[in-house]
Amino acid sequence: MKGRVLMVQGTASHVGKSVLVTALCRIFRQDGFRVAPFKAQNMSLNSYVTPDGGEIGRAQAVQAEAAGIDPTVDMNPILLKPEAESRSQVVLLGKPLRSAGARDYFGMRSQLWDAVATSLDRLRQQFEVVVIEGAGSPAEVNLKDGEIVNMRVARYSNAPVVLVADIDRGGVFASLVGTLDLLEPAERALVRALVVNKFRGDATLFDSGVTFLEERTGIPVAGVVPYFHDIHIPEEDSVVLEKPRHRNKGSVLDVAVIRLPRISNFDDFDPLERESAVGLRYVDSAAALGSPDLIILPGSKATMTDLLWLRHRGLAQAITSLVKKGTAIIGICGGYQMLGERLEDPHGIESSQLQADGLGLLPVTTHFAPTKETHRIRGRVSFPRGLLKDAVDASVDGYEIHMGHTSGESIDAPFRIVERSGTPWDRPDGAVDPSGRVMGTYIHGLFHNATLRRSVLQSLAVLKGVSLPASGEELDREVEYDRLAALVRSSLNMDLVYQITGLEVAAS
């Protein structure tokens, strides 16, 4: 028997669909069901590597973790990773398929739909319930003929749809009523509940709004979910970087992350933002850079293009000038490649530019290759000086996602990989200058390793001549998922949710 399905669609992007799906996955798991997430097509530069080396959207990996299962490529069969020149890399079932423009992509939809349907069917054979996430809005009439992520998925699986709107943006009534009005009758019939998300203040003040929506649409409002800022769930969309950031009270270290136009995997830096000692900033100009204690060059989906952007913005010169004066810098993945002397792209993998000079801060050269490396890794710190001097031999867990190989003669490596994609491995990773203050690595998730992170911060504090405050408790994601589930459970009519999903909760 196929597992039940429940679909969460939104009136627009960024209304909170991913977080609501995460919460529902946790709730169903708590109530004893084998549950999995699913999103047919995701567009994101924040990706994740599954245990078997496939690449999927970060949100589906988070949702799988909330469900208590390992992520698989079936949970996100199509991942679009925006590149330069209005194109995206199409990742199909965890592996790069091709680079495509919008018109090319629509021509591929027959092949892509087969993967969507097959993946969803597989999940329904393995799990009792699959919580499906839509993308953007189902009412984008100009894109409707080619869509394979919203109502086409709902119709295929006969999924009851929960339609979510973000009241914090304003216009919640027009968003919900207008979206429903633009749906075809058969599609509207699939919408079984409405949710008002991100409500600030006393939710009872919205009681008249609930009445209006139910009388106007004939569809029950399943709940009003409050706005929260104290539950820590990884964000996927770079729009979160546009939110104002408030420096941690008592912070003694200034850390500047370069906000590249095609920044990827920026959740690498979430643990730094939670450190009370750190004031974390995302900067996109030389004027905003100032004189931080640490500069981080993050990953990029278009390294060559973003390197050119650094030069046009005056950031390349500002960065190299600061580093020559002693400022520490860490480059991750694409950022590591930029730190080198040269980048070579003879196959046009990254751009039409065949080669470019790097920032010249590490004696390495990157050669781009057609094959993408996607691996979960385990390693250890192997460099005894500089930022890592207090973390020698500490274990490091993370993952690699890159299409280049970086090498150089007579260079020291900060890390040694001991396991790659579940296979024993014994290779160096990255490069570091003799001082240990200039470092590059391909390891994403670096700062999620507590011993390494605290070593870096302690070294920076010593260099600055300040005392590092004691670190708080490490974030327990299991606790955060439970807190999210409790908030959403208390805000929604879960009896209605179970009724429309066709599930029964066992009596306790």
| Whether residue 264 is found in the same domain as residue 334 | yes
Mean pLDDT of 263-287: 92
CA distance to 75, 156, 163, per residue, from 118 (Å): 11, 11, 25
pLDDT digits (tens, 9 = 90+) for 120-135: 999 999 999 999 999 9
CA distance to 22, 185, 237, per residue, from 483 (Å): 11, 37, 22
| Whether residue 253 is found in the same domain as residue 208 | no
| Whether residue 62 is found in the same domain as residue 180 | yes
Strands ordered across the beta sheet of 191-199: 35-38, 129-133, 4-10, 161-166, 191-199, 221-226
User: Could you tell me the residue range of the domain that residue 301 belongs to?
Assistant: 238-464
Number of domains in the chain: 2
Residues taking part in catalysis: 333, 444
Residue 247 has pLDDT above 70, yes or no: no
| Whether residue 272 is found in the same domain as residue 376 | yes
Q: Rounded CA gap, 107 and 113, in Å?
A: 11
| Whether residue 281 is found in the same domain as residue 213 | no
Residue 472 has pLDDT above 70, yes or no: no
Residue 376 belongs to a domain: yes
Q: What is the number of H-type helices and E-type strands within the chain? A: 16, 26
pTM of the model: 0.89
Q: Rounded CA gap, 291 and 184, in Å?
A: 56
Check which CATH number belongs to the domain holding 349 and give it.
Answer: 3.40.50.880
Residue 407 belongs to a domain: yes
Residue 77 belongs to a domain: no
Residue 102 belongs to a domain: no
DSSP 8-state symbol, 185: H
Longest dimension (CA), the chain: 73
| Whether residue 408 is found in the same domain as residue 492 | no
| Whether residue 334 is found in the same domain as residue 366 | yes
Check which CATH number belongs to the domain holding 122 and give it.
Answer: 3.40.50.300
- The 3-state DSSP class for residue 231 equals coil
Residue 103 belongs to a domain: no
Residue 242 has pLDDT above 70, yes or no: no
| Whether residue 216 is found in the same domain as residue 279 | no
Q: Rounded CA gap, 369 and 374, in Å?
A: 13
| Whether residue 158 is found in the same domain as residue 65 | yes
Residue 53 belongs to a domain: no
| Whether residue 451 is found in the same domain as residue 310 | yes
Q: Rounded CA gap, 317 and 328, in Å?
A: 15
Residue 323 belongs to a domain: yes
Residue 93 belongs to a domain: no
pLDDT digits (tens, 9 = 90+) for 353-397: 788 899 999 999 999 988 888 999 999 999 999 999 999 999 999
Helix (H), strand (E), coil (C) string for 239-266: HHHHCCCCCCCCCCEEEEEECCCCEECH
Higher pLDDT, 204 or 298: 298
| Whether residue 283 is found in the same domain as residue 402 | yes
| Whether residue 361 is found in the same domain as residue 218 | no
pLDDT digits (tens, 9 = 90+) for 300-357: 988 999 999 999 999 999 999 999 999 999 999 999 999 999 999 887 777 777 888 9
